[in-house]
Homo-oligomer: A and B are copies of this chain.
Amino acid sequence: MSGEKLNVAVAGLGRMGLRHARHFATLTPKANLIAVSSPVQAELDAAVAEFGPLKTYLDYDEMLRQEPTLQAVIVASATTVHAEQAIKAIERGLHVLCEKPLSTSVDIVCSDPPSLSSTYPIFYLCFLGTMTIASSAPPTDCEGKQQSQSVVTAYEKSLIKNPSQKVICGFSRRFDASYRDAHQRVARGDIGAPSVFRSQTCDKLDPSGFFVDYAEFSGGIFVDCSIHDIDLALWFFGEDSVVKSVAAVGITAVQEGLRKHNDRDNAVAVVEFYGGKIAQLFCSRMMAAGQEDTTEIFGTRGKVAVNTQPQLNLVNLYEPTGIRREIPPDYYGRFREAFIAEANEFTACCLNDTEPPMKLTGAVSAVKIGCALQESLITGKKIEFDERGERIESARL
């Protein structure tokens, strides 16, 4: 092993951005966090206070220009600039780990005007390559393709010059020890043929109403929450699985205000795949006890369950009211170790030019399913696909 380290910058120092910065600065020994960018000076100051001397930029573009030794960018800025920043980094040949979602509901000034054709409104969050673009209004089919193609093109074009370039849009659960254990067992046939997949992503109830405002840009509960479950379904069923149909139903049990953003606080869905496989999904914003992300894979000879008995740690409390245990309050509480593994493995694949831990094709399928589910949630219609994965019905939103 050489002592070489990967020079990393983090764009954005909000909640998740700061966590990424912390993981790369203090928990990823093979990475050097050399720079951060944020439009908020106080966040830059706080980063220096916490991580010691590093370069700070109020302007992302300037950071790219001023840091010739930069090798990789972690895009965790405001979601409105994710796609733009990712593409700019891609075009400079940098490795990119892009937080999801790439973008929502805003005009994007593309770094590559000829291909993305200027600014445009986006509503549907769509993962392209391993990234996402979302539009605030139903894109025409044509526009949707343009968007996808432009991002894919940016990466594909760059790959010609930079064959070792890595671009990842991390699905953190793929780095979680329990999910990996489960996947290994399924992959080696322990449960026979995986046939039914049940998974839920449920956030702790936040009575502040945060999720109503958040929904304006989140892409909707299926895209924001269930995208993880969809990605897992593809991982466990095989990334070349072809979706056959999706259908979703939802309610607003605690946050009626979500309806104005075409969103719901609880939703269930069924996703059929060709080859006799079914995924059953549930997403919720109102779990009382905390983060409850549970997955079960039912095979012809056995079942593997992940987190069906949620817990914060190994402590049980015996009280006059019974036996109690706490559970993680949020996604980060459940998956912190996975994010750290993500940082380290992304760093390793960049340094060693090895395969990134996940393929692009699955991510493209995931976003297609997530967007279709969100559409089905609102329209109440089942959406069907042919054996190549193309929508059968012409009708779209």
Question: A residues bordering B, Cβ < 8 Å?
Answer: 1-3, 25-27, 29-30, 49-53, 177-178, 181-182, 185, 190-191, 193, 195-196, 198, 205, 245, 247, 249-254, 266, 268-270, 272, 276-278, 280, 282, 284, 286-290, 292, 298-327, 380-382
Please tell me if the beta carbons of A252 and B276 are within 8 angstroms of each other in the complex.
Answer: yes
8 A-B pairs besides A303-B317, A305-B316, A305-B317 with CB distance below 8 A are A2-B52, A177-B313, A266-B278, A280-B282, A287-B318, A306-B314, A309-B309, A321-B326
Please tell me if the beta carbons of B306 and A288 are within 8 angstroms of each other in the complex.
Answer: no
13 pairs of residues in contact across A and B, judged by CB atoms under 8 Å: A1-B50, A177-B313, A178-B313, A191-B288, A196-B282, A196-B284, A247-B270, A252-B276, A268-B270, A286-B298, A288-B301, A301-B320, A311-B323
| A60 CB, min distance to chain B CBs, angstroms | 24
Please tell me if the beta carbons of A3 and B53 are within 8 angstroms of each other in the complex.
Answer: yes
Which of A270, A277, A289, A318 has the most CB atoms of chain B within a 10 A radius of its CB?
A318
- In Å, the complex CA distance between A182 and B25 comes to 30
Query: Which of B52, B195, B323 makes the CB contact (< 8 A) with A325?
Result: B323
Copies of this chain, tallied across the complex: 4
Contacts of A306 in B (CB 8 A): 314-315
- In Å, the complex CA distance between A53 and B287 comes to 50
Contacts of A251 in B (CB 8 A): 195-196, 276-278
Main DSSP-derived SS at the A contact region: mixed
Query: Which of B2, B245, B289 makes the CB contact (< 8 A) with A319?
Result: B289
- In Å, the complex CA distance between A307 and B314 comes to 5
Please tell me if the beta carbons of B195 and A253 are within 8 angstroms of each other in the complex.
Answer: yes
Please tell me if the beta carbons of B326 and A322 are within 8 angstroms of each other in the complex.
Answer: yes
Query: Which of B247, B303, B309 makes the CB contact (< 8 A) with A247?
Result: B247
Please tell me if the beta carbons of A302 and B320 are within 8 angstroms of each other in the complex.
Answer: yes
- If the complex has contacts A1-B52, A253-B195, A270-B249, are A304 and B317 also in contact, measured as CB distance less than 8 A? yes
Q: A-B pairs with the 4 shortest C-beta distances?
A: A303-B318, A3-B52, A178-B314, A195-B253
Please tell me if the beta carbons of A268 and B280 are within 8 angstroms of each other in the complex.
Answer: yes
Please tell me if the beta carbons of A193 and B322 are within 8 angstroms of each other in the complex.
Answer: no
Contacts of A52 in B (CB 8 A): 1-3
- In Å, the complex CA distance between A132 and B359 comes to 51
- In Å, the complex CA distance between A151 and B309 comes to 45
Please tell me if the beta carbons of B268 and A196 are within 8 angstroms of each other in the complex.
Answer: yes
- If the complex has contacts A249-B245, A306-B315, A319-B302, are A1 and B49 also in contact, measured as CB distance less than 8 A? yes
